[in-house]
Amino acid sequence: MAKQFYIKTFGCQMNVYDSSRIADMLQQKGYTPTVHQNQADLVIFNTCHIREKAAEKLFSDLGRAHLIQLEREEHGLKTIIGVVGCVVQAEDEQIIKRAPFVNFAVGPLMYHKIGQIIDDIEQKSDRQNFIYTDFPAVSKFDFLPENKAQGACSYLAIQEGCNNFCTYCVVPYTRGVEYSRPINDVITEAKRLLATGTLEINLLGQNVNSYHGEDSNGKERNLAYLINKIAELDGIKRLRYTTSYPADMNDDLISCHHNIDILMPYLHLPIQSGSDKILKAMNRRHNSADYLRIVEKLYAANPTVRMSSDFIVGFPGETDADFQATLDIVNRVKYIQAFSFKYSRRPGTPAATMENQVEEKIKKERLDVLQTLLFDYQTKFNKSCIGRTMPVLFEQTGRHKGQLIGRTPYMQNLHITTKRDNMNKIIDVVVTEATTNSLSGKEL
């Protein structure tokens, strides 16, 4: 029987994308995927280091994986356990110290090595840990197998790493400096996704709008150029890009929201805090007025555009007045979705050693207040959709018979019950009900 692999993914969409590329590579090696960890000959955890909680989850999962490994061993079955992703880049030695049964640990820029590592482990009988955490001169994208559509919506990584060095963030240390894939590589991958069933492409990057890939003449091109090229491809119905950095929202890109109708009217543009003092301490290259100007320009380019954001509460030095400024910006922009977090001290980042850390209790109180306000705007927006007709791309079956779940242009989940075969299609739906987290509707 073919060997089986199981991958558990933590964290961001970049990790989801990476896991699917690793899965492609393993399938090329003859492994088949399984959702049952205890049947897997190879177990991989793709990890996130962005907040402390995310990193800690790994160790409880590894404990469980070890028990399964021992149990399988009693039945003469070998289990290879690998850890990949950002925790490896930051804590490779600690992983092996705390979990010596881990066979390999590979950082986010070295995934093209996994195939070779597995061959080596399979051939050796003695225990050995393989650790790969270089920042290589070559791009992993050139060595991973071709990306095929996973469904009607596909991610396409166009950029990786970050040069912004926000003082709270581990990404520049775990994913390295910014790298943009060449235009032709991205177009080739986009064509392949479209040829294998994709209707919607979501261009991914930690700092996607600072994209500056080379064209075939070696000239650097920006994200607006790339979006225009992809929008011309046969079969593309929807296009998105995430995550954008406010200071890199240039006029070319903003005008795409006017000129390109398949570009969805929903933009994830994290502000993090509404306080200029805190934004400065975070080393963000924008203040709240810059941010509001960008939002105004986006509305002018396309009045149907709506925004989402990330927020951090309780950054070192945040006072009640600073926190109020965050609430004020939420009241101005009226985000239709948002992610909000308590500041988490990450070793090695400048903010971790700032003196004026905020008490946990205050962080929690502020998060509660912020989330109540954010959910309120999200619910209001969802309810405002009742009675509207929206094009919905259906990509999942629901729990009940005939139930399908799809996405509206604004990334809302929408459920319908239908007898028709609407899977992987964009269908006009009248919205009939709305809650904070989802919509229901009926086909026209």
Which residues make up the interface to ligand 5AD (CB under 6 A)? 50-51, 168-169, 270, 272, 310, 312, 341, 343-344, 346
CA distance 411 to 159: 22
Nearer to ligand SF4, 48 or 390 (CB): 48
Give min distance, CB of 314 to ligand SF4, in A.
16
Nearer to ligand 5AD, 53 or 98 (CB): 53
Residue 162 interacting partner from ligand 5AD, ligand SF4, none (CB closer than 5 to 8 Å by kind):
ligand SF4
Give min distance, CB of 370 to ligand 5AD, in A.
12
Residue 164 interacting partner from ligand 5AD, ligand SF4, none (CB closer than 5 to 8 Å by kind):
ligand SF4
CA distance 440 to 72: 45
In the numeric block, the tokens 């199981």 are attached to: 6
Nearer to ligand 5AD, 287 or 408 (CB): 287
Show the site string, 147-166: x = touches ligand SF4 by CB under 6 A, - = not: ---------------x-xxx
- Binding residue (CB under 6 A) for ligand SF4 from 95, 171, 256, 267: 171
Nearer to ligand 5AD, 7 or 282 (CB): 282
206 lies in the site for ligand SF4, by CB under 6 A: yes
Nearer to ligand 5AD, 81 or 169 (CB): 169
339 lies in the site for ligand SF4, by CB under 6 A: no
Give min distance, CB of 270 to ligand SF4, in A.
7
Residue 6 interacting partner from ligand 5AD, ligand SF4, none (CB closer than 5 to 8 Å by kind):
none
Nearer to ligand 5AD, 211 or 341 (CB): 341
Residue 51 interacting partner from ligand SF4, ligand 5AD, none (CB closer than 5 to 8 Å by kind):
ligand 5AD
190 lies in the site for ligand SF4, by CB under 6 A: no
Nearer to ligand 5AD, 50 or 199 (CB): 50
Nearer to ligand SF4, 59 or 165 (CB): 165
Which residue's Cβ lies closest to ligand 5AD? 310
Question: Which residues lie near ligand SF4 (CB under 6 A)?
Answer: 162, 164-166, 169, 171-172, 206-207, 245
